[in-house]
Amino acid sequence: MEKDSVGELEIPVDSYYGVHSLRAKINFPITTQQLDPDFIVSLAQVKKATALANHKLGLLPEEKTKAIVGAADEIIAGQFHDSFIVDPIQGGAGTSSNMNVNEVITNRAIEILGGVKGDFSVIHPNDDVNKGQSTNDVYPTAGKLTMLKKIPLLEAELERLMDIFEVKAEEFKDILKLGRTQLSDAVPITLGQEFHAYYSVTKRNLRRLKDVRKEMEAINLGGTAIGTGITAHPELSATVLPILNMITDENLDITDDLVDGTQNIEQYVVLSDVLKSIAISLSKISNDIRLLSSGPNSGIGEIKIPARQNGSSIMPGKINPVIPEVMTQCSFVVMGNNAIIGAAAEAGQLELNAFEPVVFYKLIESFQVLTNGIGTFIDHCIAGIEANEEKCFDNLERSTYLATVLSETVGYTKAAEIAQISLETGRTIRDIAESEGIKVKSQESVRASIR
């Protein structure tokens, strides 16, 4: 049995969590999911760093410090993650997850010292593991560290996507096709130019993601409850920072205003906005690919995408663009999460925002669906796209694009007249113009004139 201020609970003898964690598990059966492994590691890294800092400041004995650091290192290495039982979405601004890591480290550290789990006279979860800390500086610091762990994974997939778009742009650079505005026939473009535009927007989004790292590097560790540093050594922030940077191999800094750093979480909105921008671009590209590959007989059909699975339980032979469809759905998730994150950031009051748990949960989900979605988009769709050159040629010839080209020589009014005849009769612009003795550029000449 373990006791807290609410009462007593029976804790399984083989468990490393304690009464606070179990009570939170009972209170918050929300997602039925576990805290993200990177978040668990980040919490342990913060606890390790603060233990070392407190020892350096003369506040934590060497024996306790070594045991706490040893337990934290085991968690960082992936052990005891099954003891993190608190739901990611929780009331209390993350207190339950902070106590979860305090309890697991404490019980394991007690074992390291030869004691029995639950004997807090050896090491105490609040007095020792949480010394000089509050949930309100530990939890957001660990949350930012988690985001810094997720960013490189997404960057790597964006770089892969950018590279494959560049490859396709080169592969398709000489294939002239019809450009379209507002889903209506417009003027010629090369298929390579379309894919190069996808490369460019991906490159721009990758730059935004790299730039937003700095928003996650400013932490409020040492500010404790509301940023005033109550219960913490006045030198804790300065002492713990280089230790935490060494442990995490990050370039963190203490925020200039710890009260502001505890009250306001708009930096997560900035990060989420970048993820939303990536999602919007990917959804647009996915929809383009669905349109350009539509058919195979009665659609645009200017590109061919890999067939991944049967498309219908009733229509034999039907193949659907399932990979662009799933990429679009991933984008929907990110856009929806962005709205939740914005609402949560706005909902804070006075000295603290209590809604960081849902912010971190949704940011982690956004990173996950984007990173995984882009991976399958590359491997199962983009890399295997082929041009349907015959369809590109036919669609271009049957369009009214040559009217625009003719307007340079015969004027807008005459070109419009020819275009109207084409629409009414089904004859091509080229056929009508040549029948009237008007010289028309070949597709090769048009392609040569495109920048």
- What are the tens digits of pLDDT across the range 139-179? 999 999 999 999 999 999 999 999 999 999 999 999 999 99
Q: How many domains does the chain have?
A: 3
Residue 297 parent element (H or E): none
Same domain, residue pair 386 and 427 = no
In this prediction, residue 313 carries a pLDDT of 61
E runs forming strands in 202-323 = 218-219, 253-254, 303-304
Predicted local distance difference test score (pLDDT) of residue 301: 96
341 within some domain: yes
Domain with residue 20: its CATH number is 1.10.275.10
55 and 85 belong to one structural domain? yes
Domain holding 208: CATH number? Answer: 1.20.200.10
Kindly report the average pLDDT of the chain as a whole number.
95
Domain boundary among the residues 366, 390, 414 is at 390
Return the pLDDT at 317. Answer: 72
Domain identity same for 84 and 207? no
- Quick one: pLDDT band at residue 311, thresholds 50, 70, 90? low
| Distance, CA of 101 to CA of 410 (rounded, Å) | 78
Same domain, 410 and 283: no
Asked whether the predicted pLDDT for residue 194 surpasses 90, the reply is yes
Can 281 be counted among the known catalytic residues? no
Name the one residue in this structure whose structure tokens are 């890999």. Answer: 306
pLDDT beyond 70 at 183: yes
Q: What's the rounded Cα separation, in Å, for the pair 46 and 57?
A: 16
Q: DSSP assignment, residue 382?
A: G
Non-local (6+) Cβ contacts of 283 within 8 A are 327, 328, 331, 332
CB-based burial of residue 210 (10 Å sphere; 0-12 exposed, 13-18 middle, 19+ buried)?
middle
Q: Work out the percent of the chain whose per-residue pLDDT is above 70.
A: 99
Residue where one domain finishes, among candidates 131, 166, 187: 131
Report the distance separating Cα 414 and Cα 392, nearest Å. Answer: 26
User: Which pLDDT score, from 0 to 100, does residue 280 have?
Assistant: 99
Residue 142 lies in a domain: no
For the stretch 335-386, pLDDT in tens is: 999 999 999 999 999 999 999 999 999 999 999 999 999 999 999 999 999 9
- Token look-up 């990050």 returns 250
| Nearest-5° Cα angle at 279, 190 to 192 | 10
148 part of a folded domain: no
Reported confidence tier of residue 309, pLDDT bands at 50, 70, 90: low
Q: Where are the alpha helices (H) located in 294-355, listed in sequence order?
A: 322-346
Q: What is the pLDDT of residues 213-244, one digit of tens each?
A: 999 999 999 999 999 999 999 999 999 999 99
Calculate the dihedral angle through the C-alpha atoms of 403, 409, 414, 419, rounding to the nearest 10 degrees. -10
- Which pLDDT tens digit goes with each residue over 13-59? 999 999 999 999 999 999 999 999 999 999 999 999 999 999 999 99
Range of the domain at 367: 154-390
Q: Is 149 a member of any domain?
A: no
Asked if 419 and 382 sit in the same domain, the reply is no
Q: What is the pLDDT of residue 441?
A: 77
Answer yes or no: do 266 and 178 share one domain: yes
Query: Which of 200, 281, 312, 313 is labelled catalytic?
Result: 312
Which pLDDT belongs to residue 316? 66
Q: What's the whole-number mean pLDDT along residues 97-115?
A: 98
